[in-house]
Structure 1
């Protein structure tokens, strides 16, 4: 990561976690031409997965925090794979929210990740996005996000 990115993250009082290694038979990051695909990742805080059900034992605000932590993990894995300075923008984001059947605020939870992308890349480079509710996620995590980014050429 170059100094510009280090300074930008510091301005926002953000720190990237250690990048996560694959937990199975897949690549965390795959690069194809000018596209960077990041596998579904989840939130970690103090080295432990953030678990729970949004709208159950987690509030919407806690869900947003989990989404933000997840995006920080994605950025860390991107930085390791190709350097954040080489990323032009996020093109696509799919946010899976572990929630109960009656929960309806999935987009609001997803905003935790989207607002971080906006702060780092600008409002003119917001990605297309889907926010879905799911019954379960690996390790009992509250949020999982997969993304597609575009490399600078």
Structure 2
């Protein structure tokens, strides 16, 4: 699969794989599993910050989650050294939503990432998932998502 071409068909581009912001590595390969560290919402204009249920709505949160998915794909692409045919499937996403105590649409927010993964990867993009609230996230971002992929 040509990841960049598939994204281009969707009007998207693969960003550079973000560098770690602290003392961790962006991904670890263990056997046939690729674990990708949490990727924070970051768009062309910089970090996407905010709190769902306060200064951001669900649709804005879903767009922020989509940027996390793009960063996850960029990290996966870096892990396989640009040969995305080595990626068999997405196994799991764990999404964290910076939200107020009464906000309950975390699943709809993380759908921004899930929907993109299915558009890009097809059936191989269908995955197990968690979508949870967080009182705050690093640097005040709206969304952070980590992933597990299976490699061939």
TM-score over 0.5 for the alignment?
yes
2:146 partner SS: strand
The aligned residue for residue 66 of structure 2 is 68
Once residues 72 and 125 of structure 2 are traced to their aligned partners in structure 1, the CA distance between those partners, rounded to angstroms, is 17
- The Cα shift of 1:124 comes to 5.9
Stretches of structure 2 lacking an aligned partner (at least 5 in a row): none
2:96 partner SS: strand
The aligned residue for residue 97 of structure 2 is 97
1:37 partner SS: strand
Stretches of structure 1 lacking an aligned partner (at least 5 in a row): none
2:64 partner SS: helix
The aligned residue for residue 12 of structure 2 is 14
Structure 2 counterpart of 1:26, from 13, 24, 38 = 24
Deviates more, 1:40-49 or 1:140-149: 40-49
TM-score by length of 2: 0.93
Once residues 23 and 47 of structure 1 are traced to their aligned partners in structure 2, the CA distance between those partners, rounded to angstroms, is 18
Once residues 51 and 44 of structure 1 are traced to their aligned partners in structure 2, the CA distance between those partners, rounded to angstroms, is 8
Q: Deviations over 1:65-88 (max 9, x none)?
A: 000001101111111121333211
1:42-81 equivalent positions in 2, closer than 5 A: 42-46=40-44, 48-81=46-79
